Structure 1
Amino acid sequence: MMNGQWVLPRIAKRVAVMLTAVLLLTLTNGFNWNAQTAEAAGTTPVERYGQLSVKNGKLVDKTGKPVQLKGISSHGVQWFGDLVNEDSMKWLRDDWGISVFRVALYTEEDGYIANPSLKNKVKEAIEAAQKLGLYVIIDWHILSDGDPNIHKNEAKAFFNEFATQYGNLPNVIYELANEPNGNVNWNNQIRPYALEVSQVIRAKDPDNIIIAGTGMWSQDVHDAADNPLPDKNTLYTVHFYAGTHGQYLRDRVDYALNKGVGIFATEWGTSDASGNGGPFLNESKVWTDFLASRGISWANWSLADKNETSAALLPGANRKGGWPDSQLSASGKFVKQAILEGSNNNNGGGNNGGDSGEDGNNGGNNSGGNNGGDNGNGGSTPGGDDQGIVLQYRTGDTNTKDNAIRPEFNIKNTGKTAVKLSDLKIRYYYTDESKQGQQFFVDWAKVGNEKVKATFVTLPEPKAKADKYVEISFNDGTGTIQPGGESGEIQPRIHAGNWSNFDETNDYSYGASQTAFANWDRATVYQQGKLVWGIEP
């Protein structure tokens, strides 16, 4: 990194910082800056922090002090690119206090592969960020193309072009693969891809930050921590949605931090993982507090006026910024406030293992949130006379060694008050012989197939007859279960990513002879994160 070939890029970056400062002081002469967004009069994030690097698993500024960047991500520029412009980014800087902007260039979904001219919108965002003194993340946004190697050659050509053109700037950050998913994992597909693309970038840009996506839609940060890339200025991304992902994922982040790697949450939402549901603002606050305590930088999803929960703007919002609160969604208002809170604090947060005691109290709706069983409350816990949840189960398939797991459920309310179905989550525990990504389908559900969703979680410490569970949850608007009522049948199906066979004879939650619905305590139910039925393995 210190060879003579890098001297000119380093000098160019210093010059770029100085010219940016001069330009901004000129442009903002006489402008009354929002006091919340300026640590000192006339300064910008890039002026304050300069060339970023990674030190001891922390993102640090030009002086070596930890820094937490906070900002927002665009939605796909093929759909909402008109919201990505210098005016809107300036408003986000001055009114919201953002320090980083992420520009999402989808590869598939009518994105860059089909329309390479979309890269011009990325260039527009970079050049606007340069003028405004903001950091900018170039997001190579793979999604349906779950294996980043599918378009590896295009990625190498793209990042070569952008590192050549913008690598001399101090504010450019490269995100190599948004959300690897499907039948891919860190060691076999993602790391080799990231290593190859990183080398292309480093040939032109020796020191700007690189962010590597991780497995399972950028949730397997623990795998990356066990075998990180050799480049010292690389961070690893975790993506979460507050209505779906909870304590188990925070535990993975802490694991990675304790292994000495740096984390950047380049995408997160106040909704569930679909982009809808909620907003889960209490759970979002648990997450933003957690990220602040660890000094983890983040970008919220998304700057869009799409009719979905995670969009920051209401439909029809001005394309050039200037948004009053009346044009912000509930999510947008929350995110704006989260950015403004401590937005000028050049403090990277506490120690990796810092106090996270609030998680158990406020993380209720999170998938994988603190379990009732963790504090010794095993068994059926119906919550007293006022409310009682009972889970009924039957197996939909008595073949124990085929490629499908078919647990079927019915939730009954034996209590005295109505229960929102969206407050409940079912966990079914099993052993995963495939060690592949898992697939979830709903064959039929009385509440509506589309209203049932799932998250797969690998237990940090395998239990007898269980190393994984599927957590089944329900969208907002699913309705309530009245006293004496029930949810009706829910018939899901689970397959390994490679469609290999399971062995259900060693699955904790499986009942071979349970072919008719009956109360079943080998699967668990949580209400707002609290164990209310069943015995954990």
Structure 2
Amino acid sequence: MRKVLLKRLSLGLMAALMLFSLNTGLFAGASAASAASKTPVERHGQLSVKNGRLVDQAGQPVQLKGISSHGIQWYGDFVNEKAIRSLRDDWGISVFRVAMYTENDGYISNPALKKKVKEAVEAARKLGVYVIIDWHILSDGDPNKYKAKAKAFFSEMAGLYGKTPNVIYELANEPNGGVTWNGQIKPYIEEVSAVIRAKDPDNIIIAGTGTWSQDIQDAADNPVADANTMYALHFYAGTHGKALRDRIDYALRKKAAIFVSEWGTSDALGSGGPFLSEAKVWIDFLNSRKISWVNWSLSDKGETSAALLPGASKTGNWPDSQLSPSGRFVKKELLRKSPANNGDSGKAGKAPANGTGSSKPGKEGGNGNSKKDGISGKKETGGIVLQYRNGDANPSDNAIRPVLNIVNTGQTAVSLSDLKIRYYYSDESRQKQQFFVDWAKIGSSNVNGSFAAMSAPAARADHYVELSFGKAAGSLPAGGESGDIQLRIHPADWSNYNETNDYSYAGNANSFKDWNRVTVYKNGTLVWGVEP
């Protein structure tokens, strides 16, 4: 009888243990499922900046990924709850950016656009997605132009959403036109931030930086005092490369928090490409450093960087047949788990110790051998070599986009202000020419351009653009180089060129090569190249 009782007790204990084990397994499974079903805001809550990194309410690093609207004055129909829900559920976004242009039929002339911003914020709140309210300056250049209106707008937004943890304020999309961080941008950011902080002490602020939000090194050297401010970096895969990634690593070492609030698979004009292999390098780099990113753009505009094809649904649930090549790439990257380390260099979350310099001539993007083209460089006094690559895959559009690099192969330093460079072309437009520097490692504001008609036109050249450099551009040490100087030329009426008829053009120069059809002068003396 005693044995039977013990046996029954043992069987009962085993059953209880099995039931406990089963229940705990179910609870664990339910807990995991519950965590997976949470929205981005439920998972991460109130964001902040800690040691130069974006962190969640638990102090853990967090990387937001998402997409930006195009200008809501043009493509606002794509900004609605159904579309954002589809982006959350089908694309895996955790952040949506609402691009409210200031000029170009934007908020300054049409304040009613504010309603669309509020609609987007309310949709994002309901869906548990972070949302960036983007004061999208572009043609206005200097953010101070409409500073009073910016302060009034952000004061209202902070009053409405100051207690909502999913709202992020982007105060100046892309300052440009020669304004600098220390001169115009930082004072503007500090003044507008003060208005926000009076009503919202916690939510993240993104500060635009100089040269279309590329000069993050200036902000890293002189950051604002606000603890929860991040600094905008914008890139386009067909235009920007390693030199800009080096700036990110420099900023990270300085404990500056970087947020890539706009990037595209095209070139900087939204055309060309898509440059998907270059974009993949960028995204792997950002993921390896847990840097948040937002792609441009959710629209069906007929340009490379648009995620949707013309005529796509405005309310989401897009089949692949409605996605552009860029859109399919971005959707895949949003859904892909970030690798632990797949960037340019350095371990995850850490910047390499030597990330400030650019690669040596001929190494970035491959070694261009000018002998393949039957052209060899002409080296004169001073040891100056001019390298060139073509920044535009279309020779028949309305832009000439040469990318130049000056290399000092001599034994002594050379002041850039002593040099002038001439790029020769045929002008079919007969219009006034426009000159832009999209980006330069030495600082876009340090590069100047002027146009001249050749007194004796050649077969493939009747004009040239001449580059000169300010004193602040500095000097090239022996063995040094300028890094990328990315130029853009347009006729005033934006008509098309025929670059195949241009002396300095090389359509197959996809990587830097020594190129003697662009000439360099030192104090007025030709030191590199052959004039047409």
Q: Same fold (TM over 0.5)?
A: yes
Is structure 2 residue 52 aligned with structure 1 residue 57?
A: yes
TM-fit CA distance, 1:59? 0.3
Q: Among residues 427, 440, 457, which one is paired with 1:457 in the alignment?
A: 440
TM-fit CA distance, 1:518? 1.6
In 1, the alpha carbon distance for the partners of 2:245 and 2:415 equals 23
Q: For each residue in 1:413-438, what CA deviation from the matched residue of structure 2 results, as whole angstroms up to 9, or x when unmatched?
A: xxxxxx9979984435796669xxxx
- Whether the aligned pair in 1 keeps the contact of 2:81 and 2:120 (CA below 8 Å) is yes
Paired position in structure 1 for 2:520: 509
| Greater relative contact order, per chain length (Cα 8 Å cut-off, separation 6+) | 1
Is structure 2 residue 159 aligned with structure 1 residue 164?
A: yes
- Whether the aligned pair in 1 keeps the contact of 2:288 and 2:339 (CA below 8 Å) is no
In 2, the alpha carbon distance for the partners of 1:517 and 1:181 equals 32
Is structure 2 residue 279 aligned with structure 1 residue 284?
A: yes
Paired position in structure 2 for 1:178: 173
Q: Among residues 73, 89, 93, which one is paired with 2:68 in the alignment?
A: 73
- Whether the aligned pair in 2 keeps the contact of 1:305 and 1:312 (CA below 8 Å) is yes
SS of 1:111 mapped into structure 2: coil
Is structure 2 residue 344 aligned with structure 1 residue 353?
A: no
TM-fit CA distance, 1:286? 0.6
- Whether the aligned pair in 1 keeps the contact of 2:425 and 2:499 (CA below 8 Å) is no
Is structure 2 residue 530 aligned with structure 1 residue 518?
A: yes
In 1, the alpha carbon distance for the partners of 2:377 and 2:116 equals 52
Is structure 2 residue 373 aligned with structure 1 residue 388?
A: yes
Is structure 2 residue 471 aligned with structure 1 residue 471?
A: no
- Whether the aligned pair in 2 keeps the contact of 1:456 and 1:468 (CA below 8 Å) is no
Partner amino acid for 1:139?
A: D
Paired position in structure 1 for 2:12: none
Q: 1:474 to 1:428 in 2, by over 3 A?
A: farther
In 1, the alpha carbon distance for the partners of 2:61 and 2:387 equals 48
Q: For each residue in 1:257-282, what CA deviation from the matched residue of structure 2 results, as whole angstroms up to 9, or x when unmatched?
A: 00001000000000000011101001
Q: For each residue in 1:172-220, what CA deviation from the matched residue of structure 2 results, as whole angstroms up to 9, or x when unmatched?
A: 0000100000121001100000001111000000100001000000000
In 1, the alpha carbon distance for the partners of 2:320 and 2:276 equals 17
TM-fit CA distance, 1:321? 0.6
Partner amino acid for 1:283?
A: E
SS of 2:169 mapped into structure 1: strand
Q: 1:129 to 1:153 in 2, by over 3 A?
A: same
Q: 1:148 to 1:327 in 2, by over 3 A?
A: same
In 2, the alpha carbon distance for the partners of 1:411 and 1:234 equals 37
Partner amino acid for 2:323?
A: L
Q: Among residues 228, 242, 246, which one is paired with 2:241 in the alignment?
A: 246
TM-fit CA distance, 1:456? 3.5
SS of 2:69 mapped into structure 1: strand
Paired position in structure 1 for 2:405: 427
- Whether the aligned pair in 2 keeps the contact of 1:53 and 1:233 (CA below 8 Å) is yes
Specify every segment of 5 or more residues in structure 1 that has no aligned partner in the other structure, as ranges.
Answer: 1-37, 358-367, 394-407, 413-418, 435-439, 491-507, 521-537
Paired position in structure 2 for 1:323: 318
In 2, the alpha carbon distance for the partners of 1:164 and 1:443 equals 55
In 1, the alpha carbon distance for the partners of 2:429 and 2:329 equals 30
Q: For each residue in 1:373-401, what CA deviation from the matched residue of structure 2 results, as whole angstroms up to 9, or x when unmatched?
A: 569x99x8336xxx3363789xxxxxxxx
Q: Among residues 107, 123, 126, which one is paired with 1:112 in the alignment?
A: 107
Paired position in structure 1 for 2:382: none
SS of 1:245 mapped into structure 2: coil
In 1, the alpha carbon distance for the partners of 2:302 and 2:486 equals 26
* 1:17-32 matched pairs, under 5 angstroms: none
Q: For each residue in 1:474-516, what CA deviation from the matched residue of structure 2 results, as whole angstroms up to 9, or x when unmatched?
A: 99x99997xxxx75356xxxxxxxxxxxxxxxxx932534499
SS of 2:96 mapped into structure 1: strand
Paired position in structure 2 for 1:30: none
What is the TM-score normalised by the length of structure 1?
Answer: 0.69
Q: 1:443 to 1:115 in 2, by over 3 A?
A: farther
Q: 1:344 to 1:294 in 2, by over 3 A?
A: closer
TM-fit CA distance, 1:356? 11
Paired position in structure 1 for 2:361: 372
In 2, the alpha carbon distance for the partners of 1:261 and 1:307 equals 36
Q: For each residue in 1:315-367, what CA deviation from the matched residue of structure 2 results, as whole angstroms up to 9, or x when unmatched?
A: 0000101100110001101111111112799xx9813315999xxxxxxxxxx
SS of 2:263 mapped into structure 1: strand
SS of 2:285 mapped into structure 1: helix
In 1, the alpha carbon distance for the partners of 2:152 and 2:136 equals 15
Q: For each residue in 1:450-488, what CA deviation from the matched residue of structure 2 results, as whole angstroms up to 9, or x when unmatched?
A: 99985431349951497576235899x99997xxxx753
TM-fit CA distance, 1:225? 0.3
Q: For each residue in 1:284-333, what CA deviation from the matched residue of structure 2 results, as whole angstroms up to 9, or x when unmatched?
A: 00100110011100100000100000000000000101100110001101
How many residues align structurally?
423
Q: 1:203 to 1:433 in 2, by over 3 A?
A: farther
Q: 1:322 to 1:448 in 2, by over 3 A?
A: farther
- Whether the aligned pair in 1 keeps the contact of 2:101 and 2:137 (CA below 8 Å) is yes
TM-fit CA distance, 1:40? 3.2
Partner amino acid for 1:129?
A: A
- Whether the aligned pair in 1 keeps the contact of 2:405 and 2:483 (CA below 8 Å) is no
In 2, the alpha carbon distance for the partners of 1:334 and 1:76 equals 22
SS of 1:239 mapped into structure 2: strand
**Alpha carbon RMSD of aligned pairs, Å?**
4.3
SS of 1:509 mapped into structure 2: strand
Partner amino acid for 1:80?
A: Y
In 1, the alpha carbon distance for the partners of 2:60 and 2:147 equals 35
Specify every segment of 5 or more residues in structure 2 that has no aligned partner in the other structure, as ranges.
Answer: 1-32, 379-385, 408-413, 444-473, 491-495, 506-518
Q: 1:370 to 1:328 in 2, by over 3 A?
A: farther
Q: 1:164 to 1:313 in 2, by over 3 A?
A: same
Paired position in structure 2 for 1:498: none
Is structure 2 residue 503 aligned with structure 1 residue 488?
A: yes
Q: 1:344 to 1:101 in 2, by over 3 A?
A: farther
In 2, the alpha carbon distance for the partners of 1:77 and 1:250 equals 30
In 1, the alpha carbon distance for the partners of 2:44 and 2:374 equals 52
Q: Percent same amino acid at aligned positions?
A: 55
TM-fit CA distance, 1:441? 11
Partner amino acid for 1:471?
A: Q
In 2, the alpha carbon distance for the partners of 1:39 and 1:479 equals 60
